[in-house]
Structure formats: structure tokens, C-alpha cells
Amino acid sequence: MKAVVQDRYGSPDVLQFADVPKPEPATDQVLVRVQAASLNARDWHVLRGDPYVARPSRDLGWFRPNDRIRGSDFAGVVESVGSAVTRFRPGDEVYGDSPAAFAEYVVAREGRVEQKPANLTFEEAAAVPLAGQTALIGVSGISERLLINGASGGVGTFAVQLAKAFGARVTAVCSTRNVELLESLGADQVIDYKTTDFVRSVEQHDVLLDLVGNRSLRDLRKAGQRVILSGGGVFTGGSVFGPMGLMIRGKLSRTEVLTVRPGAELLAQLRELIEAGKVKPVVDRTYPLAATADAMRYLEGEHARAKVVLTV
């Protein structure tokens, strides 16, 4: 089968579209014929081997990624199932996450896969897993005034819609070109950070969800009584430590770092909300699987909004 592989760290140029063996499902796994897959910031970090101090880890090795095939989020059709799998059978349309998803076939544990929302295309469904689950955990239980910094990204576009579904009043922060998008997703107020400093222009919100890491913790606390941090290099001048760097320095009191444990239960909740018409994935661009390097360049350098998806 064809897959996108990476044998060393570097720019998108190190990605290769190559022939690799077709995987076989273990007893608790399903084999899925991938129809679409989506990119996440995590894919960029693995591409670059960033942060260096995280080598080795589950995703990163000292000199090359531990998983040769890139990607995690996918949507497709079940090809076969392991002997212990009870929830799926060949022909089922599913979505989920598993290592090595940028390929024609992927194997995934049964507990990381769910039936695809019936009202989504495969491309739309592939945009959901990691970003949707992160947003769901980030805004669950919030029905107060919520400010989202970085609202036009993959997680942010889900967070706006989910928060509105849960009854929150949402203020979204984004760049000029994304104002109309966030208004269309239901944000009660949209702040263009290129013209307005949200820290100085809004009253303190009950909760602030930060998805960018471009403001100091002091600033964030001015804008939110409770601060939830998610994503890359937060307050440390880069992505080396992110939120963990602040925890090490003891500066995260009254502040939460978002932890997400993906699974079928969260995917099922998202499916119900999507099928009820309360949430819809936003896809910025699609690329063929063979052009994954181009998709990664766009994600890395062009401030992609919402999700970038690969078609297989």
C-alpha cells in the first residue's frame, strides 16, 4: 500500500510517498481502508522533532520518529476486524485516531474508533477526532462567559460551536480574515487581535481557553478568572516546554493544563452533537495523500484556519 513516511527529522521535504506493507489487525483492532485523514499541530512537531527534550518519547525518537508513517486522525471503511472486536464489522463507516493514519490502510484499537457521523463526508469526519475531542474536554461543563484565544484554528472552531451548544456566551479572538467565519459559527463577540488587544478591551471572563500561547500568563489572568491552557509553546518563547514549563516553575496555580485522553466515548458524544446539527467541522483545504508535504507546508507557514485534510 501507499503511505506517507518519514525517516529523519526536518522540513516537509523529508516526507516520502512510498510503498509499505499493508498492516494486519491484532485481536482488539480494526483494519480500516482510509478515505481521508487530517493534519494536526502534533504532526508538525513530529516532523521537526520538536521539542528536542521530548526525545525519546512515544512519538519521538532520538534520531527519527518512532512511528515511520505519519498521521493519526482518519475516516474510512472497516476492511476486517480482529477476533476480539465486537462493535464493528467489515463495511462499517468509521472515524477515529491511531498512529500511521497517512496511508491507504490503518489499524486502530476498537476503543479509539467510532461510527462515522451519518451527515458528514469522509473528509469532514477525518477533521474531527483530535481537535474535536480536545475542544470537547476543554469546554465541557462551561455555561458561563468564555473567551477563546485562537478560535479560528482546528480546536478553536470546534470549541466555539461546542461552547454555544452547552449554553456559554462566547467571545472569540482571531485575525481579521477569520472574523466572519467565527460569527457564522455562533460566537457572540469576535475580537480581531490585529486591531484590538483583548486583554485591555474586554471585562474579565469567567473562563479563558488559550489555544495559542502568545500572551503571558499575567495577561491571560486579566482576561479570565479561570485559565485553561492547551497547545504548543506557551509563555516560554518557544515550544520546548509549553504549559509544562510553567508547572516546573510553579506558576500555574489557579490555571489548568488541558489533558485529553482520546477514546470512543468522546467520539460518540461528538457524533451525537454533529448529527443533531449543533457542530460541523470546518475544512480549510484538502490535498491528495501524495501531496502531504504541500499540506504540511501550508499548515506550517500560512496560518491555516480550522482543518487541513488529506484525501486518499
Task: Classify domain 131-257 at the CATH superfamily level.
Answer: NAD(P)-binding Rossmann-like Domain (3.40.50.720)
Domain residue spans of the chain: 2-128+281-311, 131-257
The amino acid at residue 247 is M
What kind of fold does domain 2-128+281-311 have according to CATH? Answer: Quinone Oxidoreductase; Chain A, domain 1 (3.90.180)
DSSP 198: H
Among candidates 123, 92, 122, 97, which has minimal Cα distance to 108?
Answer: 97
Nearest to 28 by CA among 75, 73, 100, 81: 81
CA 101/CA 285 separation, integer angstroms: 18
pLDDT score at 63? 67
Residue 242 pLDDT greater than 60, yes or no: no
What's this model's pTM, rounded to 2 decimal places? 0.91
Residues in the chain: 312
Torsions phi, psi for 266 (to 5 deg): -65, -40
Of the pLDDT bands very low, low, confident and very high (cuts 50, 70, 90), residue 234 is very low
Q: Do residues 209 and 159 touch, judged by C-beta distance below 8 A?
A: yes
Q: Is the pLDDT of residue 239 over 60?
A: no
Q: Considering only CA atoms, which of 160, 165, 163, 162 is closest in space to residue 178?
A: 160
Helix-strand-coil split of the chain, %, nearest 5:
30, 30, 40
CB burial string 121-139: b at 16+ within 10 A, e below: bbbbbbbbbbbbbbbbbbb
- Judge whether 2-128+281-311 and 131-257 match in fold: no
* Amino acid, single-letter form, for residue 13: D
pLDDT of 106 strictly over 90: yes
Distance CA 80, CA 74 (A): 16
Residue 266 has pLDDT above 80, yes or no: yes
